[in-house]
Structure 1
Amino acid sequence: MNLAILYRGPLASCNYDCPYCPFAKRRDPPELLRADRAALARFAGWVAATGDVRLSVLFTPWGEGLTRNWYRDAMVSLSHLPHVERVVIQTNLAARVDWLADADPRAVALWSTYHPGQVDRDRFLSRCARLTELGVRYSVGVVGLPEHLAEARALRAALPAEVYLWVNAAEGRRYDAAEEATWTELDPLFGYSARPHVSLDRPCHAGETAISVRGDGTVRRCHFIDEPIGNLYDGSWRTALRPRPCGNAVCDCHIGYVHLKPLGLRDVFAGGVLERIPAAWPPVRRPVPLAAPERRPPAVPAPGSPPA
């Protein structure tokens, strides 16, 4: 069995104050941080003990996890487990990344987001460069707001070609054809994010080969369907896994619609579904054929000249 787990504990604090995020600059009280740490330790212990399943884990905290040492420690330890194919976290890269030198680069990866106005671009790029030095897989993304366009272009120009830059449609924003084309120049797959996907009654991998897990172990099909289907720690999740059609009218978040079967995005992101890296990245660019040399007629010798 291969199972992808999207884990979200109680943590909801962040060191950034992005105006488009409801959790900006939120501070968690000490008791909530203790609860989050304990929940993550329990989850990591469960992953370590569940060796009969090939697991991939994506941490999707409401806030920023890598400023907390327990997330860093969990990622390092889980990356070395033989039955863990991938361990990934969504992060703003605010924290130093040298700790990843202790992780297995074959298993660990980062889904990184650049927030203009919250961090200096050169500082963000220095973290990206360090990830490259460490051999850690990572993607980088931005929110597709007009005021971010110049920074996004500068970021794309500065990043290595092998690093995928994704663009998330801003929540509630509609993009006209010209705007969509502009962002697609940066992210060839932006069209998938630019508009919600009709999902009602459509088949989805969620609840079959991908699940969402809360800090208390409650298992749901995905983050966007509240109905529980079992609990991680009593084993009820195993019998709950089966194909199901989606019960929501639309799906407009990448971590949800990437699992919609009709979209085929599991193939597009094969080998990098959780860290949001397409299989064919960087794109293969066909070489421009050289123009054939001009064919000139053979010279005609002048009358009376010796043969060549």
Structure 2
Amino acid sequence: MDLTILYRGPLSSCDYDCPYCPFAKRRDSREQLRADRAALERFTAWAEAAGRDGDRLKILFTPWGEGLVRSWYRRALVELSRLPHVERVAIQTNLSCRTEWLAQADLESAALWCTYHPGQTPYDRFLAKCRDLADRGVRFSVGVVGLPEHLEEARRLRAALPDHVYLWVNAAEGRTYTDAEAGRWTALDPLFPYSRSPHPSAGLPCRTGESVVSVDGDGTVRRCHFVRAELGNLYDGSYRAALRPRACPLARCDCHIGYVHLETLPLYDVFAGGVLERIPAGHIPAGHIPAGHRPPVA
């Protein structure tokens, strides 16, 4: 079985104080950190054993907090990247961690989805880490939240990043963009129109619940992070019988890690080979969207 897993354990602490994030500067207790570590190690052990059953896995860690400042997340990425049945293992990160640990990972399968938060880290420090990743040959994307106060910093970052590094822009939650505003962000990220407005999804076919699932720290399996109905448990195998094609039960999908899996959107082609780490197939020059992949006008 080929399965894509979005894993989110109990970790919810972060070292940044972004005003648009409910987990900014949140601290986990020692007990909470121990629980998160135990949950992640259990998941890693399951993933390792899954190869004996012939399963092939793609894994994206989507912690509420910042995972890579914790040794157990760095270790999990290294260990999972070395497993022959793990095609891809990636994590969402603010890149505040050190990067030398990546020398131990298999860079054919390990990848990073990095977010730049202006005002939370010095620009030069973040850019230096991006250049270090590029020098190491790490697969990574970089992005920003599309707030007006981030635009000049995003332009500056785009100009300084290596050409092959994709810079994505997430529409700010609840924000409506004028065509002029959207045009400015699209000049930086030609795929921004996919993020600009939520996607109608009710009744539409989605890969989640069939070949893509969400897993929490207890092993509870759901179709995605945004649909709370449970499909079973990862560790007793009860979820397997529930996997099947499904239509989305929600009216709209407004998060990239959700709508990327909608079968009515061409994003599996756009991001072929890089769906989890949000890297498009081939280089997309600024201002250009490949033929056949132009999103609807919002």
Deviation track 1:144-195 (CA, whole Å, cap 9, x = no partner) reads 0000000000000000010000000000000010000000000000000000
Could you say which structure has the larger radius of gyration? Answer: 1
Q: Distance in 1 between matches of 2:122 and 2:285?
A: 29
The answer (yes or no) to whether the contact 2:190–2:284 under 8 Å persists in 1 is: no
RMSD: 1.2
Using structure 2 for the length normalisation, give the TM-score: 0.94
Q: Distance in 2 between matches of 1:250 and 1:283?
A: 29
The answer (yes or no) to whether the contact 2:12–2:64 under 8 Å persists in 1 is: yes
Is residue 21 of structure 1 aligned with residue 21 of structure 2? yes
Q: Distance in 2 between matches of 1:285 and 1:18?
A: 29
The answer (yes or no) to whether the contact 2:13–2:24 under 8 Å persists in 1 is: yes
Letter matched to residue 21 of structure 1: C
Q: Distance in 2 between matches of 1:283 and 1:81?
A: 34
Unmatched segments (≥5 aa) in structure 1: 287-308
The answer (yes or no) to whether the contact 1:114–1:140 under 8 Å persists in 2 is: yes
Aligned residues: 286
Q: Distance in 1 between matches of 2:106 and 2:282?
A: 23
SS of structure 1 residue aligned to 2:77: helix
- List aligned pairs for 1:155-174, cutoff 5 A: 155-174=157-176
The answer (yes or no) to whether the contact 1:98–1:130 under 8 Å persists in 2 is: no
SS of structure 1 residue aligned to 2:17: coil
Using structure 1 for the length normalisation, give the TM-score: 0.91
Q: Distance in 1 between matches of 2:174 and 2:112?
A: 26
- List aligned pairs for 1:16-95, cutoff 5 A: 16-51=16-51, 52-95=54-97
Indicate the percent of aligned positions where both proteins have the same amino acid: 69
Q: Distance in 1 between matches of 2:283 and 2:229?
A: 36
Deviation track 1:90-110 (CA, whole Å, cap 9, x = no partner) reads 000001111000000000000
SS of structure 2 residue aligned to 1:39: helix
The answer (yes or no) to whether the contact 1:4–1:56 under 8 Å persists in 2 is: yes
Unmatched segments (≥5 aa) in structure 2: 289-298
- List aligned pairs for 1:236-251, cutoff 5 A: 236-251=238-253
The residue number in structure 2 matching 1:303 is none
The answer (yes or no) to whether the contact 1:184–1:190 under 8 Å persists in 2 is: yes
Deviation track 1:102-146 (CA, whole Å, cap 9, x = no partner) reads 000000000000000001111001111111111110000000000
SS of structure 2 residue aligned to 1:226: strand
SS of structure 1 residue aligned to 2:239: helix
Q: Distance in 2 between matches of 1:285 and 1:146?
A: 19
The residue number in structure 2 matching 1:219 is 221
**For structure 1, which segment, 137-146 or 124-133, has the greater mean C-alpha deviation from structure 2 after superposition?**
124-133
